[in-house]
Structure 1
Amino acid sequence: MQILTANELISGATVYFLADGGWGEDINSARVFSEKNIPEMEQAIERAQASGVLISVESETVRVEGSRVVATRLRERIRARGPTAPRHRRQKPDIHHAVEFTHVSL
């Protein structure tokens, strides 16, 4: 099983592809793709990369434990929890840009 993760360009926030086609901060709300959904996942990656709003779009292998989505790679588990440096706060994504994909504000 896999999910899609990216960083929102303006804020740098970690975001996850959701079942409704948008992007959000909660890994537990991420759409989980099975092997049969790989073509849909690849299309979502292409749309995200073409948006100009999201960077570092990647698929991550996960497992589902009850209602929790748990990344198998340590790096992604750390990203899901937020920054580890105490002086840095979790960045809030500019979600309306991540959902609309209509333009990029510079």
Structure 2
Amino acid sequence: MTYVVTEPCIDILDRACVDECPVDCIYEGARMMYINAEECVDCGACEPVCPVDAIYYEDDLPMAMTPFVLAGKEFFAELGNPGGASTVGKQSFDAGPAAKGS
């Protein structure tokens, strides 16, 4: 299990979560942030600092937000596992619901 960024993040991109993440596993897409499940250590530091309450532990994810689990998987299927968000910077694409609106 890991943390998942959901719909309230679309077009917000506050980055408070990025600043708080001790392992650099939160990546920026064109319209929202994504947490790399392979890199996340489940510390939970990102969740309380999100100003729009967009981050959930996967087990606590509201049913309406489950498409964002797949969106994260799609995002990293395209990006791969670069080993840290700061190494790749902002991406020009999104996945799942955020991609549909772009």
Name the TM tier (shorter chain). 0.3 to 0.5
Q: TM-score, structure 1 length as denominator?
A: 0.34
Greater RCO (CA < 8 Å, at least 6 residues apart) = 2
* Greater strand fraction, Structure 1 or Structure 2: 1
**TM-score normalised by length of structure 2:** 0.35
- Greater per-residue helix proportion: 2
